[in-house]
Amino acid sequence: AALAEDGFTATIQKVRIGSDLYGKIKAYERVLEGTALLKSDLNESRLQSYALIIEKDPERISLIQERMRDLDGFVDTFFSDAARNIPEEEVKAPVAEGRSAWSEYKLTTDNEVLPALQAKKYADAIKLQDGVQRQRYERFMVQIGSAVDLMKRRVTALEKEAHELVAESVRLLGLFTAGAILLLVALSVFIRMLIVHPINAMTSHLRDMASGRGDLGKRLEVASKDDVGQMAGYFNSFVA
């Protein structure tokens, strides 16, 4: 029973709120929630890049560039948070690859696409967007998709581990309960044999003596040296 109790306690510690297992699951869930927003930000950023190419109004161009900077900040924040929150190194690798692809995409936008637009070389800007930038964007989305799939598989595996631990804790609790019941039954039998039975025998003997049918030659069994045993011994001495 003691071993079952120790095992039950150790298992509960593994799945309780605040445990390492629970923390990993919640960390992956937070990153996955951020990934949904990331994809939306990336799609909008790409559309804004094309809008910037065809827009001729300086005021609108300024607004588009400001929005692109905001989106860049959101994406960079996601990658920083992901690098900090993802708990396992093998899952960080595809996310780091996605971040590298994003850095290349953003660097080309800042150093080649925007300067081409400022020089009014719209054909060059379109060529970049439809060529190398499109390839980088598609590669980036594939890498992020792979990272998402990997994180989902890890969440599934961790949740399965948690369910198995809970099932194990229930089993151990059952063993502990059964052990406690057996211990109580054994204790009850022990008390009955050591205390109740001798007292009942003494009571029966005294009742027979009081009714005039008692056998004064009969002696009580002294089975222990405790208070009950001493009382039986004194009774035997009294009737001797």
What's this model's pTM, rounded to 2 decimal places? 0.62
pLDDT confidence of residue 238: 67
3-class SS of residue 173: helix
What is d(CA 84, CA 78) in angstroms, rounded to the nearest whole number? 10
What is d(CA 1, CA 143) in angstroms, rounded to the nearest whole number? 51
- Residue 185 neighbours by CB distance under 10 Å: 10
Structure tokens at 152: 């989902």
Residue 77 C-beta-side C-alpha neighbours within 13 Å: 10
DSSP character at residue 29:
H
Tens of each residue's pLDDT in the chain, 240 residues: 444 444 444 444 454 554 778 888 888 989 999 988 888 888 898 899 889 888 888 899 899 999 999 999 999 999 999 988 888 888 888 888 888 888 998 999 999 998 998 898 989 999 999 999 999 888 888 888 888 999 999 989 988 888 887 787 778 778 878 888 888 888 888 777 766 777 777 777 667 666 666 566 666 666 666 666 667 676 667 666
What is d(CA 197, CA 207) in angstroms, rounded to the nearest whole number? 15
Q: Label residues 72-81 b or e (16+ Cβ within 10 Å = b).
A: bebbeebbee
Torsion angles phi and psi, residue 191, rounded to 5: -65, -40
Answer for the pair 24, 57: CB distance below 8 angstroms, yes or no.
Answer: no
Closest C-alpha among 216, 212, 213 to residue 239: 216
pLDDT confidence of residue 227: 66
